[in-house]
Amino acid sequence: MREKMKAWQLAEWGKENLQVAERDVPRPGPNDVLVHVRAVSLNYRDKPALEGSVLLNETPLPYTPCSDMAGEVVEVGSDVQRWTTGDRVSANFYTRWVDGSATADLFGLSLDLPGTLAEYVLVPETAIVRAPDALSMEEIATLPVAAVTAWSALVTEGRLRAGQSVLLHGTGGVSLFGIQFARMFGARAIITSRSAEKLERAKLLGANDVIETSEYPNWAGRVMEITKGRGVDHIFETIGGENYKKSLDAAAIGARITTVGFLESSEFTLPIVPMIIRRIVIQGLSVGHRRSFEDMIAAIEINGLKPVIDRVYDWKDVPAAFDHLDRGAFGKIVVSVNP
């Protein structure tokens, strides 16, 4: 086993301070697993994280970004029962959340897992899941945050069923997984975007209806036309601000609006009366527990789902990958860990 490894890190907050450093390869404790990382995917949460704005104040520097990864187990602790060397795995975002309802001690758990933009990562044996055999390392790396978020919102919490409808905003990883899961369950997928080209690609992926928001600024009205006045059952609210009011306007009676992001604004104001009369459920959601991840993997394998990757970047091009994230992507941005 090697003694040294390479990792991207920030010695000071700010994307311009990203640099490659050499570190000692960590050694497993009794219940730990050492994973040789093969691929890492980026998430929108990684953008403010680079500036230190979403991390706990006591988070020490240097800081290694990212939480999504895929790799192989190369060493296990003396008491590890679930894994052996050579297993292909990915890591759950919340390292101690195995199942059940969220509790107060779960907040900030992503910090339990060292940043994954490194050659090796040490994780608790309970925090990793078996990777789907049919997916590449790059595809597996897209799953922990975006896919589990979409699955948790629609299936674990939303109890999605055939004949329902799903509204998704934009064409990032969460939205595209949302399309794929909606189609998997026989639900109608409606997606909004400012890009006509991306909407055409979304239709090829399985979106039933697309709405170009530059053509339909009042896109909620267009949703009601498409659904013949009924509205939609599940809404992924990823934008916030004024967009949230439109999401409410597009909601069916008993609809669930799941808040998973705030690309436009972290603040919103809603009228209370329509929420009461139409019995709207508004839920905040951050990824999910390990059982959701494992259930999702089983469904992915049964249905042959393939994650959508916009581009795979080489290890040396990590800054360019984050620049791509700033511009926006169709699906996921992945880094191949090949120093």
The tens digit of pLDDT for each residue in 227-275 reads 999 999 999 988 777 888 889 999 999 999 998 876 665 667 777 888 8
Q: Is the pLDDT of residue 56 over 70?
A: no
- Structural domains present in the chain: 4-142+307-336 (3.90.180.10), 147-284 (3.40.50.720)
Q: What percent of the chain has pLDDT over 90?
A: 73
The pLDDT of 146-165, averaged and rounded, is 96
pLDDT in tens, 176-226: 999 999 999 999 999 999 999 999 999 999 999 999 999 999 999 999 999
Question: How many angstroms from the chain centroid is the CA of residue 61?
Answer: 25
Q: Give the pLDDT confidence score for residue 272 in this predicted structure.
A: 85
- Coil, strand, or helix at residue 307? coil
DSSP letter assigned to residue 171: S
Pairing of strands 88-91, 70-76: antiparallel
Nearest one of 261, 260, 263, 235 to 249, comparing CA atoms: 235
Q: Give the pLDDT confidence score for residue 106 in this predicted structure.
A: 65
Q: Give the pLDDT confidence score for residue 280 in this predicted structure.
A: 92
The pLDDT of 290-300, averaged and rounded, is 96
Contact between residue 237 and residue 267 where contact means Cβ atoms under 8 Å apart: no
The pLDDT of 166-180, averaged and rounded, is 94
Number of neighbouring beta carbons within 10 Å of residue 317: 15
* Distance (Å, whole) CA 213 – CA 193: 6
* Distance (Å, whole) CA 209 – CA 199: 9
- Give residue 258's identity as a one-letter amino acid code: T
pLDDT in tens, 12-31: 888 899 999 999 999 999 99
- Give residue 144's identity as a one-letter amino acid code: P
Nearest one of 102, 141, 120, 59 to 312, comparing CA atoms: 141
The pLDDT of 58-87, averaged and rounded, is 92
* Distance (Å, whole) CA 58 – CA 274: 42
DSSP letter assigned to residue 150: H
pLDDT band at 58 (very low <50, low <70, confident <90, very high): low
Q: Give the pLDDT confidence score for residue 109 in this predicted structure.
A: 40
Q: How far is CA 254 from CA 45, 71, 304, 308, 321, in A?
A: 30, 41, 31, 31, 40
Q: Give the pLDDT confidence score for residue 238 in this predicted structure.
A: 83
Nearest one of 67, 68, 61, 69 to 14, comparing CA atoms: 61
Burial of 308 (0-12, 13-18, 19+ CB in 10 A): buried
The pLDDT of 281-300, averaged and rounded, is 93
DSSP letter assigned to residue 114: P
The pLDDT of 62-78, averaged and rounded, is 94
* Distance (Å, whole) CA 146 – CA 260: 10
Number of neighbouring beta carbons within 10 Å of residue 31: 15
Q: What angle do CA 285, 290, 296 make, to 5 degrees?
A: 85
Q: Is the pLDDT of residue 171 over 50?
A: yes
Q: Is the pLDDT of residue 110 over 60?
A: no
